[in-house]
Amino acid sequence: MGSSLVELQAAYAAGTHSPETALAQCLEAIKADNGRLNAFLNVDIDGAQAAARVSTRRINDNQARVLEGLPIAVKDNLDVTGLATTAGMATRRNRLAARDAGVVARLRAAGAVIVGKLNMTEAALGADGRNPHYGDCHHPHQAGCSPGGSSSGSATAVAAGLVPAALGTDTMGSVRIPAAYCGVFGLKPSFGLVSTAGSVAVSRRLDHIGPLAGCLEDLGLLLPVLAGFDPACPVSRPVLLVEPKQDLIYGLPELGRVALADDVAEPWQAARQALVNRHFHHRELAGLAMDPGRIRRAGLLLCEAEMLVEHGPDWAGQRDNFSTELQTLLAWGERRSAPELAAAVRTLDQARLALNAWLEQCDIVILPTTPQRAFSLAQPTPANQADLTCLANCAGLPSLSMPLPVAANELPCGLQLIGRHGRDREVLTAAAQLQAILRPETINR
Amino acid sequence: MGSSLVELQAAYAAGTHSPETALAQCLEAIKADNGRLNAFLNVDIDGAQAAARVSTRRINDNQARVLEGLPIAVKDNLDVTGLATTAGMATRRNRLAARDAGVVARLRAAGAVIVGKLNMTEAALGADGRNPHYGDCHHPHQAGCSPGGSSSGSATAVAAGLVPAALGTDTMGSVRIPAAYCGVFGLKPSFGLVSTAGSVAVSRRLDHIGPLAGCLEDLGLLLPVLAGFDPACPVSRPVLLVEPKQDLIYGLPELGRVALADDVAEPWQAARQALVNRHFHHRELAGLAMDPGRIRRAGLLLCEAEMLVEHGPDWAGQRDNFSTELQTLLAWGERRSAPELAAAVRTLDQARLALNAWLEQCDIVILPTTPQRAFSLAQPTPANQADLTCLANCAGLPSLSMPLPVAANELPCGLQLIGRHGRDREVLTAAAQLQAILRPETINR
């Protein structure tokens, strides 16, 4: 269908579209393309159509709420009342949700139409888009290629135009990595800003729920709806969304420790150069003071330990229903000691201090989202996929992935922005500034 | 000496006192009483006198900063440049600090005079005021009695009039418990509001630095100086200090799960009744939905695991210099698994949700600070000392202990207030409202 949320809003206002016709187009696109993409695991046709009817009526009655009648799909680790929350796991195939996740409730209260549940990496641990239980999710622009993960279905569904926007979750990069691979926009908000109540946890300390969409405006529309203190979420905090500055200082870090593939290094350097050429206020930043692989491994241990609690009864009672890969990871975490876990959390704290030090010198740090572009599902998964994204999870800072300009037939490539805590809107402002100079005609493939 | 910070400020302005004369009175009181109290481990006479001279000159030059010339002492787990930071541990006897802790730097920048370092429970784990390496700290009003801990020296020094105010640290109640036992005011601020950089950590997730003083006005004076984002602290966040409401709703929880000693239950019931009688807007709250002992044990495991990292090299190299009690605790934590630690953190999250649920129904929860009053150092330490205070640490919420009215010859008793995150000033406002109705003539012993 191809319309963004803001375009749909305008079409509803103009009367050229209604929530019911917009949903019908989504359902048609899903019917046409989901067979090859496997982005949706569950389309809630009846529920969505009922919601669209209500929204159509409210628009006609001038009772439209802020997201009235806008179709949105959610990753399958977020509870939607009456539907299974599989988290991409065989063990949870029939685990029906008794109530909506906090974010889903907020979307509904704002009038959004929940279209269905999206494919994801098993238990959201990993970023390759494979799923041994529900089938791999495929890249929207190249068959047999990874869309990234763990929010693989979220990025694929948006990039393929099945829905204009989707929710994903991001523990080490799981919103931004698939956004980068698929050529869409993805936002990981400030820690504590968006409730994670009603999600299947990987790590409560690192998990963030965030939106993916085809344009920045849509992320800006969704953010204030998703944000808000939720007493039912143990990591929720009242966070003030600070007004963005306009005269932003950009930080350009040296990335010697991260091996960038040539086809990422080249557009990244071009983006840096564009900033400099256009006289953006910028600062060169020293390289990361620590080994990103060490951060990744520490984050993985934290996730494994918490997942053994989150999935404890299933791990005890039906271990065979976990994939061999996940079994290996969890069994490793099971044998670690409490002080080893405490030390891992300290390592994550170091990453936070490193980002804080960068953000003492600038307002927005930019860097590539991933060290490589999307890879073939027949190839092994690159180990360093999340090395650039996990930093913002450790630090709890807002971070966005946006497409970098690439040639017309190339796979997408992502540029990542990181801002200060509570300055999520500043990150959106920065992305808009960058989009304006990064040859916009080539950004949307 | 007995003057509060705000009284000293007025005396400086009137010219009846100067920072140098005020410091001289502190030093005299320390000389007279510290032998029996053992509140100070280290008095920095030269450093304090030099600072007081500068402050006296600045006041004379009309260059006074917000805390100009006010004498303040700090717990010995906070770095003060050039002095040892013992954390009450034998292993750290000669561990000189190369720079000031974040909070100490802020106090100095505001003009405060740092008088010295205060006794504390070994490694800040425990709340009884005993210290096998540096000697027990004694209750200011009753020899041989525990002042509480772990900020034992902070509360004793303030209550005995050695200094008008002090900093303590509070991981499960270590500011509020000794404040309650000694009859002074103590504030544990919102998590993330006050930097813990340059402190010896017990648990970074639970540690808070907070002030103790003889009156609420002094806490109100110190709070904005201590608060502020610190990029060098991994748990620091920009926190907006919200303006307090005046028409507060007080929540009065049922405390059936916590065995209150009669001499605490009686003034606590009297305080509840005073609120009701004076027509304060109040709500009865259901009892805590979980076993407080379970929360305490989970918190203890988190502390042990993190302390094994914080003190890792000393634990490996000179274990004999840890007390037998501490060795037993750390050895237990050492044998726990990573998933057990993750499960403990989940338990702490539950405590947070329970407090959130209470604060959905009111602005300020009140409850006793401790289930008992100060006990004899010859008696065993009550196991449930921190059961009422640790809740606010798990939840990261601002919490204050203030004296409850007791008869003239009795040991003090503490009333605890807990407010919403970022509403530290509202907690101070509430404390002032309560102080006005709780027979003020008997509050200050």
Instruction: Determine whether the interchain pair B234/A336 forms a contact, defined as Cβ–Cβ distance below 8 Å.
Output: no
The verdict on residue B44 lying in a domain is: yes
Instruction: Determine whether the interchain pair A340/B336 forms a contact, defined as Cβ–Cβ distance below 8 Å.
Output: no
CB B349 within 8 A of CB A234: yes
Write the single-letter amino acid at A245: K
DSSP 3-state assignment of A337?
strand
Tell me which chain B residues have a C-beta less than 8 angstroms from the C-beta of A234: 349-350, 352-353
Task: Give me the pLDDT at residue B63, please.
Answer: 97
**CA nearest B332: which of A333, A343, A346, A338?**
A338
CA–CA separation, B62 vs B70, rounded Å?
16
User: Tens digit of pLDDT for each residue in B396-410?
Assistant: 999 999 999 998 889
Which residues have CB under 8 Å from B133's CB, separation 6+?
B86, B88, B89, B90, B93, B122, B323
User: Tens digit of pLDDT for each residue in A324-347?
Assistant: 999 999 999 999 999 999 999 999
CA–CA separation, B33 vs B159, rounded Å?
12
Instruction: Determine whether the interchain pair B231/A338 forms a contact, defined as Cβ–Cβ distance below 8 Å.
Output: no
User: Tens digit of pLDDT for each residue in A246-276?
Assistant: 899 999 999 988 899 999 999 999 999 999 9
Element (H, E) at A169: strand A165-170
CB B323 within 8 A of CB B365: no
Tell me which chain B residues have a C-beta less than 8 angstroms from the C-beta of A235: 349
**CA nearest A40: which of A145, A157, A213, A144?**
A157
The 10 Å Cβ neighbour count of residue B409 is: 8
Question: What range defines the domain where residue A180 resides?
Answer: 5-226
pLDDT surpassing 70 at residue A441: no
User: Tens digit of pLDDT for each residue in B207-227?
Assistant: 999 999 999 999 999 999 999
Task: Give me the pLDDT at residue A241, please.
Answer: 86
**CA nearest B61: which of B111, B131, B136?**
B111
Token digits of residue A220: 């800006």
pLDDT band at residue A440 using 50, 70 and 90 as cut-offs: low
Q: Look up A188 and say whether it is catalytic.
A: no
Q: Chain B residues contacting A, CB < 8 Å?
A: 192, 204, 231-232, 234-235, 237-238, 240, 242, 301-302, 304-306, 308-309, 312, 333-343, 345-346, 349-350, 352-353, 356-357, 359-360, 396, 420-422
CB A395 within 8 A of CB A351: yes
CA–CA separation, B124 vs A37, rounded Å?
56
Token digits of residue B243: 């303006």
CB pairs under 8 A between A and B: 115
**CA nearest A88: which of A165, A181, A152?**
A152
pLDDT band at residue B443 using 50, 70 and 90 as cut-offs: very low
CA–CA separation, A103 vs A223, rounded Å?
11
Chain A residue with Cα closest to B232: A353
The verdict on residue B34 lying in a domain is: yes
| Planar angle of CA B73, B216, B219, nearest 5 degrees | 40
CB A57 within 8 A of CB A134: no
The verdict on residue B57 lying in a domain is: yes
CA–CA separation, B190 vs B229, rounded Å?
12
- What number is the average pLDDT over the span A127-142? 96
Mean predicted lDDT score pLDDT of chain B = 96
Q: How many domains does chain B have?
A: 1
Q: Which of B3, B4, B75, B323 is catalytic?
A: B75
pLDDT surpassing 80 at residue B442: no
The verdict on residue A67 lying in a domain is: yes
The verdict on residue B388 lying in a domain is: no
Please report, for residues B22, B59, B112, B161, the alpha-carbon distance to residue B15 in angstroms, rounded to integers and kept in the order given. Answer: 12, 10, 18, 22
**Torsion on CA atoms A434, A437, A439, A443, rounded to nearest 10:** 20
Q: Which of A3, A18, A75, A401 is catalytic?
A: A75
Tell me which chain A residues have a C-beta less than 8 angstroms from the C-beta of B235: 349
pLDDT surpassing 70 at residue B31: yes
- What number is the average pLDDT over the span A402-422? 95
**CA nearest A111: which of A201, A8, A185, A196?**
A8
Q: What's the complex ipTM?
A: 0.96
The verdict on residue A410 lying in a domain is: no
Q: Which of B4, B55, B146, B150 is catalytic?
A: B150
Task: Give me the pLDDT at residue B398, please.
Answer: 98
Burial (Cβ within 10 Å: 0-12, 13-18, ≥19) of residue A418: buried
Minimum-distance CB partner of A334 among B333, B337, B420: B337
The verdict on residue B298 lying in a domain is: no
CA–CA separation, A12 vs A6, rounded Å?
10
Beta-carbon-side half-sphere exposure of residue B146 (alpha carbons within 13 Å)? 27
The strand pairing partners of A117, in sequence order, are A42, A74
User: Tens digit of pLDDT for each residue in B283-339?
Assistant: 999 998 889 999 999 999 999 999 999 999 999 999 999 999 999 999 999 999 999
Tell me which chain B residues have a C-beta less than 8 angstroms from the C-beta of A356: 231-232
> From the CA of A373, how many Å to the nearest CA of chain B?
32
Which residues have CB under 8 Å from A232's CB, separation 6+?
A102, A195, A197, A198, B353, B356
CA–CA separation, B428 vs B442, rounded Å?
20
* CATH number for position A185: 3.90.1300.10
CA–CA separation, B45 vs A375, rounded Å?
67
Chain A residue with Cα closest to B348: A234
Q: Look up A337 and say whether it is catalytic.
A: no
Element (H, E) at A274: helix A262-277
Token digits of residue A369: 């989202």
Write out the E strands in B340-388: 364-368
Instruction: Determine whether the interchain pair A339/B346 forms a contact, defined as Cβ–Cβ distance below 8 Å.
Output: no
CA–CA separation, A25 vs A249, rounded Å?
42
> Per-residue b/e over A79-103, b at no fewer than 16 CB within 10 Å?
bbbebbbbbbbbbbeeeebeebbbb
CB B121 within 8 A of CB B150: yes
Task: Give me the pLDDT at residue B444, please.
Answer: 40
The verdict on residue A428 lying in a domain is: no
> From the CA of A359, how many Å to the nearest CA of chain B?
9
Peptide bond into B150 cis (omega under 30): yes
Instruction: Determine whether the interchain pair A343/B309 forms a contact, defined as Cβ–Cβ distance below 8 Å.
Output: yes
